[in-house]
Amino acid sequence: MQNEVNIQTTRRYDPGILRPVIAGRRGYYFLKRTADIALAGFLLIVLSPIMSLIAVAIYLYSPGPIFFSQERVGARRIRMGGRQYWRQETFRCHKFRTMKINADSSVHKDYVQALIQNDQKRMFEIQGEDTQVRKLLNDPRIIQPGKFLRKFSLDELPQLWNVLHGEMSMIGPRPAIPYEVEIYKSWHYRRLEAQPGITGLQQVKARCTTDFDAQVKFDIEYVDNQSLWLDAKIALLTPLAVLSGRGAG
């Protein structure tokens, strides 16, 4: 009952973005959360030497904060009226800093807008070239080790803390930037019907090599077919996708 009161008084509550949780998945979500805690904790311990080296490299090339936290949009399951719904929520997503301090985000914002609208002419103008990869490349804001970290997704490792805190899962659609969500088409919101993840179906199938609508369709495919088997398959395919370097920038 207390949750229902909070839902109706918080500024983040909006009936227009409440989506019912697919019935019959209670056991799946429990096992998924258990696996998230175990795997994230294990990886933080095992990868701590690598994360320490990354922290040193960032500081040597660009003295300042090692980590970068950015507001992202995800989803959380809430209960209301005896039913469960997905509610859009924002949280602080953690990454290793790969950009200059106080870097201007306007160029990235312009590119994201062009990407969502599939304005290829504008993407070409911003990018300076026509690329298959649908993300901003040759970004002048990136510091020396940043491109390597991004290519192999090492900058995402601090998000293991987001997983432990329950803001993210190991597997799910990537968390969106608020200015991206502001210009979503109505059907794009369906990708917010799952907890955001460090990796997901889009990352192992396309990794930014398709237009935005196609990327969202992969996320929706995951939303509609979530299972422990699909999560395990994505987890096994992720290292191959990362090592291939496809769609990285």
- Distances in Å between the Cα of 132 and the Cα atoms of 71, 129, 152 are 28, 10, 18
pTM of the model: 0.85
**147 belongs to a structural domain:** yes
**230 belongs to a structural domain:** yes
| 159-188 pLDDT per residue, tens | 999 999 999 999 999 999 999 998 998 889
Residue 14 pLDDT > 70, yes or no?
no
Distance, in Å, from the CA atom of 185 to the CA atom of 70, rounded to the nearest integer, reads 23
Lowest-pLDDT range of 37-41, 67-71, 116-120, 243-247: 243-247
What pLDDT does 8 receive? 33
Query: Who has greater pLDDT, 125 or 173?
Result: 173
42 CB burial (10 A radius; 0-12, 13-18, 19+): exposed
Beta-strand ranges (E) seen in 81-154 are: 83-96
**184 belongs to a structural domain:** yes
Amino acid at 54: I
Both tokens of 172, joined, read 């799910």
**8 belongs to a structural domain:** no
Q: What is the average pLDDT across 39-67? A: 95
Domain that holds residue 170: 17-244
184 CB burial (10 A radius; 0-12, 13-18, 19+): middle
**1 belongs to a structural domain:** no
Pairing of strands 197-199, 169-171: parallel
Distance, in Å, from the CA atom of 78 to the CA atom of 76, rounded to the nearest integer, reads 6
What's the number of domains the chain is made of? Answer: 1
**150 belongs to a structural domain:** yes
**78 belongs to a structural domain:** yes
Q: Write down the mean pLDDT value for the chain.
A: 85
**123 belongs to a structural domain:** yes
- Distances in Å between the Cα of 94 and the Cα atoms of 10, 78, 150, 208 are 24, 24, 14, 21
196 CB burial (10 A radius; 0-12, 13-18, 19+): buried
Distance, in Å, from the CA atom of 97 to the CA atom of 144, rounded to the nearest integer, reads 11
| 22-33 pLDDT per residue, tens | 888 889 999 999
